Every structure is written in structure tokens, then in C-alpha cells.
Homo-oligomer: A and B are copies of this chain.
Amino acid sequence: MNSARLYAVGVGPGDPELLTLKAVRILRAADVIVAPTGQAEAASYALGIVAAHLDPNRQQVLERVFPMSRDEEELRPYWEATASEVAAHVRAGRTVAFVTIGDPLLYSTFLYLLRLLRERYPEIAVEIVPGITSVSAAAAAAGVPLATAAERVAVLPATYEAEKLRQTLLDFDCTVLLKVSRVFDQLYALLVELGLERRGVFIRRVGSSEEEVVTDLASLVGKKLDYLSLLIVRKG
């Protein structure tokens, strides 16, 4: 049996102890590790989380640049190059581990690679190794329940259109908002309008040494906030 394949390995939100045993086993056994990074000169955050388990003398460790961009057309050539490289390694009988922060299927850039691989290299076997999401880790850091038995949870970017954001906050028992840094002041105003400003907890850089939990949301208004931040709004 040929075990060569691509593993998409969720490495959790930042704390290396939040790796799963399965992630560690696969990372140690892989022939090739591929790690995304935002800029050519920046170290991959995901690679830093798993570095202690790798052996650069035995394994190929490839950092591949994916620019920070929302423009899929701009990103596509980068993903195409990586898809082709991954496919070549797997065809040559190597196992490849692509490391991704959090979980590979929840707001991960891996999803673009997955789509390309399915379109162009459908013969390449892909196995997903789930990871601890920043949502679970942030809730744990803040001690806030996400949902008890009969409740509903929504997860969405805070940059979503205002009317849908409002409706979700009204409808759901718990709303988790990602990418809050750039829109925090408007978001805070919306929470005040809905009477929910004391129901939110802000968590920055969960799982890192800079992790911080803020319950006094008013103190954050007008500040420059960390990109890796989220807000959990829990009613009742």
C-alpha cells in the first residue's frame, strides 16, 4: 500500500502543547513539511508551533509565501505553485504535511490549496488532521461557555455586513466574531445599541505568550488592536 499523501495538519492556535498526538506523529514521520508564511522575510507562525518535533536533517522543510490578500486572483499563482509542488512530492512517493494554524477546515488558507488539489490533482490523497480552533482556545482562556444543551452558536467574521451581524447577535445564544481588530469601534457601538456590551469578551493572541483576555470592552475603543483577536458574545 502506498501511504504517500498530503496531510493537512491543524496545529492549534499557538501553544505547542495544544498539538494533538496524531499531529505530532504525522509531523515526525513526514518526508516533507510545507509551512505557509505571509511575507518572504517573516517566519511561519505554524512552523514555529511545530518546530520542536521536526528534524531538518532528515525532513525537507519548505516555507512558502502566501501574501496577505483578500484578492483570490492575486493569491492564485502562489497556491498553484504550491499545489504543483505538493503533487510532485506525493507522486514521488513522499508524505507531505502542510501545517496550518487552528483547524484546517475553519478559516484556514489551506482551503484554497484543497480546492486546487481537488480540481487539478484529484488522484492525490488528502487527509485532514483536525486541530484545536482559536474559538475553543479563546473560550477556554476566558472561561466562557460556547453552548449548553439547547443553545445555538454562530461563528463569523466581524467584517460581515452590518445588518446580518446585528441579526446574528440578536438570534444566537453565543456569537463568535473573528477579525475584530479593524472594525472594533463600530462593533462596540453595535453591542451598546443591542445592550450586549457587557456580554462580550475580547481575546487577543490566544495560546501565545501575549495572550490577553479583556472583559471591559470600552477600554479597547480607539485603540490599535492585534490582528489575531476575537470576541465572544454570550447572552443569558
User: Does A131 reach chain B (CB closer than 8 Å)?
Assistant: yes
A167 to B160 alpha-carbon distance, docked (Å): 18
User: Does A18 reach chain B (CB closer than 8 Å)?
Assistant: yes
A2 to B168 alpha-carbon distance, docked (Å): 42
Q: Which residue of chain B is the closest to A173 with respect to CB atoms?
A: B156
Interface residues of A in 161-177 (CB under 8 A from B): 164, 167-168, 171-172
Residue-wise, chain A 170-204 has the 8 Å CB interface mask toward B (1 for contact) of 01100000000000000000000000000000000
User: Does A149 reach chain B (CB closer than 8 Å)?
Assistant: yes
Q: A19-B20, A152-B156 are in contact. List 6 more A-B contacts (CB 8 A).
A: A106-B136, A107-B147, A111-B148, A130-B136, A151-B156, A153-B155
| Contact partners of A20 in chain B: CB under 8 A | 12, 17-21, 132
**Is A105 touching B146 in the complex (CB atoms < 8 A)?**
yes
Residue-wise, chain A 88-105 has the 8 Å CB interface mask toward B (1 for contact) of 000000000000000111
Q: How far is the CB of A137 from chain B (nearest CB, A)?
A: 5
Residue-wise, chain A 105-142 has the 8 Å CB interface mask toward B (1 for contact) of 11100011010000000000010111111001101110
User: Does A224 reach chain B (CB closer than 8 Å)?
Assistant: no
**Is B154 touching A152 in the complex (CB atoms < 8 A)?**
yes
User: Does A223 reach chain B (CB closer than 8 Å)?
Assistant: no
Instruction: Please give the number of chain A residues whose Cβ is less than 8 angstroms from any Cβ of chain B in the complex.
Output: 55
Set B107, B130, B152, B156: member contacting A168, Cβ < 8 A? B152
User: Does A36 reach chain B (CB closer than 8 Å)?
Assistant: no
A16 to B21 alpha-carbon distance, docked (Å): 8
**Is A140 touching B128 in the complex (CB atoms < 8 A)?**
yes
Q: Which residue of chain B is the closest to A72 with respect to CB atoms?
A: B149
| Contact partners of A16 in chain B: CB under 8 A | 21
Interface residues of A in 66-95 (CB under 8 A from B): 70
A57 to B136 alpha-carbon distance, docked (Å): 33
Q: How far is the CB of A209 from chain B (nearest CB, A)?
A: 15
